[in-house]
Every structure is written in structure tokens, then in C-alpha cells.
């Protein structure tokens, strides 16, 4: 662009000198000079246009950079959330390993199972250990087993637990209980009352009955029915252990 401008200056200078000297200039020379001047001015205008286009392109690039920076910021936020969720999962797994270790003796004797179901950590006690058939009053062996469980859970009394009662599909044959729902709920309530009596905070416990409607095995044979007749002590997760809900803070 500097060369073109220089040519324009030189042409103008030649024309000015010729006019100042008052000397004659041949017509063809004059015309050629004018043509060169016109051509140079056209190239200069083209260059200016290219410069303006380049500015516009640079402006678009800045917009794209802005979008890229925004996208990177969003990605960093997603990574931070993933790290938070991973830390929460590690915390839950650590608590699970701790519980399993503390309940190892009861697990070894078959009185208790520790595991995960539907994304929840739980302790599972067979109803056959805790209750007589068709009843909701704890047996003495059941009280002894539940006392061992409660003594350990007292170390976690700042956490909340749901006591869930479950039955098989065999219809209940009792004047006291109209359905398996009634029986399962009454059994869950008996466990809650026992734990409260052993010193567990009542504000950290809840009772629920599922009847035969949440089986862990098909009710097609006696072994499976025994698996379905159970009491579950479910650890209620803190909101901080769950992924953040959209638009909500934990």
C-alpha cells in the first residue's frame, strides 16, 4: 500500500512541475499519466476495501473467541460439578465400607446383609430372625440381633434411617392384620420403637411398609419367599451426597 501511495505522489508531482514550468507536455504523455493516476487511485480504493474487510473478519474472530471463552467457562463448571459428585460418591463408599466392617460379625453369622439397592445403602435382616410367622412382636433372638445392630448404628445417630417392612405374596391369615401391608408396616414400627428405646433419636427414624410389592426375588418357591420376608434399615442420603438439581442449591 505504501508503494501505491508513493506512485500517486510522484504522478502528482510530475504534473505539478510541468504546470509550474509552463512547458508543453505531449498529449499522449499527459493521457498516460492521467490513466496511471486513475489506476493507482482504483488500487488504493481496493486496498482500503480489503483493509475494511479484514477489520470485519477480525471482529468476527473476536466474537468467536468470546464464544469459545464462554464455552470453556461452562466446561470448567461441569468439571467442577463432576469432581463434586465423585467426592460425594467416594464419601458414600467410605461410609459403606465402614458399616460393612463394623457389621462383619453379624454378616458372617447370616443375621444381616449390608449392600446397595436402588441407589441406597441398606442393612437387611430376615424377618424369620426377628418375628414369629404372621406377627409383629420381636422375638428374644430378634431383640438380641437388633440390639447389636442398634448399638453400632448409634455411632451414626446423626444420620437418618428409614425402617422398611416387606413380606412375600402369601395372604395374611390374621384377625389383627387385614393385609400384608398392615403386617409389614407394623413390623417396621416395632423395629423403630425398639431402636428408640435403645437410645436412637426418634427424629432420625421413620417406618414404612411395602407389603409384597417390593420383592427382591420371585415368589415362586419357599427359599425366595424367605428372601422377600425382610426388614431393611435404609440410610437416607444427605442432599450434599446427591447431584445438584437443576436450578437448585444443595
Please answer whether residues 225 and 212 qualify as being in contact, where contact means their C-beta atoms are separated by less than 8 angstroms: no
At 4-59, the pLDDT tens digits run: 555 555 555 555 555 544 445 566 766 777 777 787 877 777 787 777 766 666 66
Q: Quote the pLDDT of residue 32.
A: 73
Residue position matching grid coordinates 464419601: 91
For 52-96, the DSSP string reads: HHHHHHHHHHHHHHHHHHHHHHHHHHHHHHHHHHHHHHHHHHHHH
Q: Quote the pLDDT of residue 37.
A: 76
State the pairing for strand pair 230-236/113-117: unpaired
pTM for this predicted structure: 0.63
Q: Quote the pLDDT of residue 224.
A: 96
CA torsion angle for 19, 21, 26, 31 (degrees, to 10)?
-20
With H, G, I as helix, E, B as strand and everything else as coil, classify residue 209. Answer: strand
Cell readout for 34 is 492521467
Q: What is the DSSP letter of 24?
A: -
The CA distance from 230 to 165, in Å, is 6
**Residue, of 203 and 39, whose pLDDT is higher:** 203
Nearest to 4, CA basis, from 55, 42, 54, 50: 42
The CA distance from 22 to 16, in Å, is 10
At 217-243, the pLDDT tens digits run: 999 999 999 999 999 999 998 766 555
What is the crossing angle of helices 180-197 and 140-153, to 10°?
Answer: 60
Q: Which residues are bridge partners to 124 per DSSP?
A: 113, 232
Please answer whether residues 98 and 213 qualify as being in contact, where contact means their C-beta atoms are separated by less than 8 angstroms: no
Q: Quote the pLDDT of residue 122.
A: 93
At 86-145, the pLDDT tens digits run: 887 787 778 778 878 888 888 888 889 998 888 888 999 999 999 999 999 999 999 999
With H, G, I as helix, E, B as strand and everything else as coil, classify residue 3. Answer: helix
Any idea what the Cα angle at residue 92 is, between residues 89 and 94, rounded to 5°? 110
At 151-201, the pLDDT tens digits run: 999 988 889 999 999 999 999 978 999 999 999 999 999 999 999 999 999
Residues 7-14: contacts with CB within 8 Å, 24+ apart?
7/36, 7/40, 8/37, 8/40, 8/41, 8/44, 11/36, 11/37, 11/40, 12/37
Q: Quote the pLDDT of residue 249.
A: 42
Amino acid at each position: 500500500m505504501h508503494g501505491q501511495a508513493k506512485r500517486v505522489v510522484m504522478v502528482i508531482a510530475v504534473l505539478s512541475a510541468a504546470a509550474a514550468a509552463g512547458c508543453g507536455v505531449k498529449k499522449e504523455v499527459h493521457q498516460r499519466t492521467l490513466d496511471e493516476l486513475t489506476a493507482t487511485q482504483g488500487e488504493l480504493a481496493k486496498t482500503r476495501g480489503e483493509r475494511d474487510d479484514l477489520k470485519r473478519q477480525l471482529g468476527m474472530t473476536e466474537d468467536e473467541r468470546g464464544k469459545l471463552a464462554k464455552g470453556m467457562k461452562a466446561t470448567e463448571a461441569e468439571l467442577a460439578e463432576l469432581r463434586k459428585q465423585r467426592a460425594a460418591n467416594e464419601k458414600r463408599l467410605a461410609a459403606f465400607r465402614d458399616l460393612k466392617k463394623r457389621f462383619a460379625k453379624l454378616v458372617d453369622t447370616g443375621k444381616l446383609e449390608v449392600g446397595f439397592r436402588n441407589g441406597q445403602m441398606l442393612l437387611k435382616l430376615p424377618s424369620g430372625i426377628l418375628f414369629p410367622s404372621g406377627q409383629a412382636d420381636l422375638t428374644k433372638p430378634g431383640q438380641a440381633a437388633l440390639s447389636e445392630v442398634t448399638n453400632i448404628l448409634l455411632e451414626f445417630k446423626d444420620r437418618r434411617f428409614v425402617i422398611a417392612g416387606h413380606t412375600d405374596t402369601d395372604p395374611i391369615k390374621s384377625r389383627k392384620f387385614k393385609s400384608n401391608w398392615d403386617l409389614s408396616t407394623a413390623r417396621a414400627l416395632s423395629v423403630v420403637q425398639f431402636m428408640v428405646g435403645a437410645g436412637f433419636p426418634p427424629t432420625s427414624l421413620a417406618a414404612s411398609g411395602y407389603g409384597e410389592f417390593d420383592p427382591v426375588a420371585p415368589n415362586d418357591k419357599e427359599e425366595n419367599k424367605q428372601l422377600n420376608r425382610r426388614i431393611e434399615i435404609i440410610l437416607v442420603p444427605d442432599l450434599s451426597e446427591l447431584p445438584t438439581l437443576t436450578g437448585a442449591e444443595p
